[in-house]
């Protein structure tokens, strides 16, 4: 990547491709299974969960489903956390053994696995992260893309406005 045009191209193409991560009404051509790989979830076997999802999808010949590594969602006590987009279903305390049921029920049959939904402090089950009291009063600024993008994929960073400040410096600011 050497020019601003290249960055613009990546941003546009990749953002369209990743629209379903932030737009629950996205034109659904595929699903993304986001598996938290922050420290807490990693220590509770999230790498094994990610591998299990990939293995089961391959064995069952299921296409149009991507399994993505994400950073910490900020709710480590509920980990390992798995989110399925675009519908934004939030599964908590997932184990490697749960992957088969999530694939067969949620992905294949379109039925939420109720027993894995996250419980709020009052014990009610919530279907998405935004419904949780812990998040309702928060507005994430610096970490707003954490849990949405794969932190190891630079194109995903660019798609979600990465390097915009550098672009401004190069295009709009003088040397003095």
The binding site for ligand FES (CB under 6 A) comprises 36, 38-41, 72-73, 75-76, 79, 81
Alpha-helix residue ranges (DSSP H) falling in 18-150: 39-43, 46-59, 99-101, 133-136
Q: How many C-beta neighbours within 10 Å does residue 159 have?
A: 22
Contacts of 26 (CB under 8 A, 6+ apart): 19, 20, 86
Q: Decide whether 57 or 72 has the Cβ nearer to ligand FES.
A: 72
Q: Decide whether 7 or 74 has the Cβ nearer to ligand FES.
A: 74
Least Å distance, CB 15 to ligand FES, is: 25
Least Å distance, CB 17 to ligand FES, is: 24
Q: Decide whether 41 or 68 has the Cβ nearer to ligand FES.
A: 41
Long-range contacts of 167-171 (CB under 8 A, 24+ apart): 167/4, 167/7, 170/4, 171/4
Least Å distance, CB 76 to ligand FES, is: 3
Q: Decide whether 134 or 163 has the Cβ nearer to ligand FES.
A: 134
């Amino acid at each position: 990547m050497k020019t601003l045009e290249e960055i613009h191209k990546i941003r546009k193409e990749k953002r369209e491709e990743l629209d379903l991560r932030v737009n629950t009404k996205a034109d659904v051509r595929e699903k993304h299974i986001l598996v938290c790989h922050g420290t807490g979830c990693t220590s509770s076997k999230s790498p094994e969960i990610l591998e299990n999802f990939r293995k089961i999808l391959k064995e069952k010949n299921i296409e149009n489903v991507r399994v993505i590594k994400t950073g910490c969602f900020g709710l480590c006590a509920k980990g390992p956390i798995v989110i399925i987009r675009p519908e934004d279903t939030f599964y908590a305390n997932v184990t490697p053994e749960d992957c088969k049921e999530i694939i067969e029920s949620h992905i294949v049959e379109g039925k939420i696995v109720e027993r894995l939904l996250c419980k709020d402090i009052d014990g009610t089950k919530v279907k998405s992260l935004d419904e949780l009291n812990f998040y309702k009063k928060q507005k994430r600024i610096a970490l707003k893309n954490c849990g949405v993008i794969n932190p190891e994929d630079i194109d995903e960073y660019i798609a979600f406005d990465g390097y915009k400040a550098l672009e401004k410096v190069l295009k709009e600011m003088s040397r003095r």
